């Protein structure tokens, strides 16, 4: 099972100003940033799976494992245990959105088997934090919760669970693979094994080529968000809505734009999901909170820092998503070139003509100075 990166989906490919490091933080150094893009050793597999659950845009995936397929197979089955021994390569592939969706989709409580993870290890903490966040968010509108099993008692598999269990061979393959990956560095003896080890340690060199540019521009809503939408649609609305602290919700946000905004258009053109948008005249900024994946790109690219996170997230958005207008602009035609531009007061001249005018004055002054020097 190999780790894959679809570079075109990474927000770092969208803009060199992106500072996203969610995959790096989740994997404790197994993923690193090189020349602006994430990279990892070619032999990397399930041991870095936490980046799959961490990436806001689903740029990372594991070969031979589809999270969406896992989700629907799990919900349709009667199994209510998510375990590395049973049905998932690593619990860390599950994002907070997947965890909330699993809890909402199942009548019975879903249990996560954490027995395979060393308590207090980086991976254990990553998974535990996600479960805590999912349960915290669930508690704001539902009485469903996820449970974790960490008491070292291997849960007994029911007949059905046994049926859907991977073959011993597959499990043993995975274990062998992990063991091999861990030991290859130090104890390779044969040339072939050595070559394989070298290749496994070699870093991928990701590049952005022309074929990718259209994919980068395309708006893409991750599958995990579509699943969450669907589950929330089937969840009864709570009696009242809450406002959760912004820092307690990692995967969605609400925003505002302050008066320093120049309508440079970058944030809404660049937003990977279309959460930020405008109209044909570019005279406003719209925002759909439930399309936002909190990738932070709009903040990273906004030079004046005009777009900001709202301190609270209203849970009403989960059940009654809205499109809010964050800013409106006065679009006028430039008196010089006739092109439309965002009028911010003063002369009715667009920024481009103003720059050209300044340059012309500068050149004119220089020319005069030179002529004056020549006349002396």
- The Cα angle at residue 43 between residues 71 and 19, in degrees rounded to 5: 70
Question: Contact between 90 and ligand SF4 (CB under 6 A)?
Answer: no
Question: Contact between 94 and ligand SF4 (CB under 6 A)?
Answer: no
Question: Contact between 266 and ligand SF4 (CB under 6 A)?
Answer: yes
CB of 222 to ligand SF4, least distance (A): 10
Measured from the Cβ of residue 222, the count of other Cβ atoms closer than 10 Å reads 22
What's the distance, Cα to Cα, between the start and end of the chain in Å?
80
Give yes or no for a contact between 174 and 46, defined as CB atoms under 8 angstroms apart. yes
Alpha-carbon distance of 242 to 259, in angstroms, equals 28
> Residues 192 to 221: which contact ligand SF4 by CB under 6 A?
none
Question: Contact between 265 and ligand SF4 (CB under 6 A)?
Answer: yes
Residue in 104, 298, 334, 350 binding ligand SF4, rule: CB under 6 A:
298
CA–centroid distance for 30 within its chain: 18
Residue in 36, 142, 164, 262 binding ligand SF4, rule: CB under 6 A:
262
| CA trace torsion 111, 114, 116, 122 (10° rounding) | 150
- Diameter of the chain by CA atoms? 103
Question: Contact between 296 and ligand SF4 (CB under 6 A)?
Answer: yes
> Residues 228 to 257: which contact ligand SF4 by CB under 6 A?
257
Question: Contact between 307 and ligand SF4 (CB under 6 A)?
Answer: yes
Question: Contact between 38 and ligand SF4 (CB under 6 A)?
Answer: yes
Give yes or no for a contact between 21 and 63, defined as CB atoms under 8 angstroms apart. no
Tokens of 112: 């996560």
CB of 290 to ligand SF4, least distance (A): 10
Q: Which of 285, 298, 218 is nearest to 253 (CA)?
A: 298
CB of 351 to ligand SF4, least distance (A): 13
Measured from the Cβ of residue 187, the count of other Cβ atoms closer than 10 Å reads 8
* Torsions phi, psi for 111 (to 5 deg): -110, 140
Question: Contact between 46 and ligand SF4 (CB under 6 A)?
Answer: no
* Torsions phi, psi for 155 (to 5 deg): -60, 140
CB of 15 to ligand SF4, least distance (A): 10
CB of 275 to ligand SF4, least distance (A): 4
Q: What distances in angstroms separate CA 168 from CA 81, 87, 175, 228, one per listed residue?
A: 18, 12, 10, 33
Nearer to ligand SF4, 38 or 89 (CB): 38
Nearer to ligand SF4, 140 or 283 (CB): 283
Q: Which of 232, 242, 228 is nearest to 293 (CA)?
A: 228
Nearer to ligand SF4, 134 or 293 (CB): 293
CB of 231 to ligand SF4, least distance (A): 20
* Torsions phi, psi for 139 (to 5 deg): -65, -15
Count the site residues for ligand SF4 by CB under 6 A. Answer: 38
CB of 181 to ligand SF4, least distance (A): 21
Question: Contact between 263 and ligand SF4 (CB under 6 A)?
Answer: yes
Residue in 61, 83, 306, 315 binding ligand SF4, rule: CB under 6 A:
306
Residues in the site for ligand SF4, rule: CB under 6 A? 10-12, 20, 22-23, 38, 54-57, 59-60, 257, 261-267, 271-273, 275-276, 292-298, 301-302, 304, 306-307
């Amino acid at each position: 099972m190999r780790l894959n990166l679809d570079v075109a989906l990474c927000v770092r490919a969208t803009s060199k100003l992106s500072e996203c490091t969610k995959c790096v933080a989740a994997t404790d150094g197994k993923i690193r940033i090189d020349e602006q893009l994430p990279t990892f050793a070619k032999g990397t597999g399930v041991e870095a799976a936490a980046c799959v659950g961490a990436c806001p845009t689903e740029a990372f995936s594991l070969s031979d494992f589809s999270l969406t397929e896992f989700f629907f197979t799990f919900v349709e089955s009667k199994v209510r245990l998510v375990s590395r021994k049973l049905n998932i390569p690593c619990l860390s592939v599950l994002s907070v959105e997947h965890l909330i969706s699993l809890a909402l989709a199942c009548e019975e409580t879903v249990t996560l088997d954490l027995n395979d993870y060393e308590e207090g290890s980086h991976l254990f903490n990553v998974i535990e934090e996600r479960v805590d966040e999912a349960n915290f968010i669930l508690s704001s509108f539902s009485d469903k919760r996820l449970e974790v099993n960490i008491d070292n008692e291997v849960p007994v598999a029911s007949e059905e669970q046994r049926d859907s269990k991977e073959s011993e061979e597959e499990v043993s393959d995975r274990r062998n693979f992990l063991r091999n990956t861990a030991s290859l560095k130090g104890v390779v003896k044969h040339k072939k094994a050595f070559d394989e080890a070298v290749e496994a340690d070699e870093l991928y060199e990701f590049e952005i080529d022309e074929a990718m540019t259209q994919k980068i521009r395309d708006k893409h809503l991750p599958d995990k968000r579509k699943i969450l939408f669907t589950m929330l649609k089937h969840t009864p609305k709570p009696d009242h809505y809450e406002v959760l602290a912004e820092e307690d919700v990692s995967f969605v946000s609400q925003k505002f734009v302050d008066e320093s905004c120049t309508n440079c258009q970058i944030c809404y053109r660049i937003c990977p999901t279309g959460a930020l948008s405008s109209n044909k005249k570019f005279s406003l900024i719209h925002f759909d909170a439930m399309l936002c994946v909190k990738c932070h790109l709009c903040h990273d690219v906004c030079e004046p820092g005009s777009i900001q996170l709202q301190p609270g997230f209203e849970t009403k958005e989960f059940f009654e998503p809205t499109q809010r207008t964050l800013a409106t602009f006065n679009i006028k035609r430039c008196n010089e070139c006739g092109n439309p531009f965002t009028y911010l007061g003063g002369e009715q001249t667009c920024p481009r003509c103003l720059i050209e005018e300044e340059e012309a004055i500068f050149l004119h002054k220089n020319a005069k100075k030179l002529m004056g020097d020549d006349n002396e």
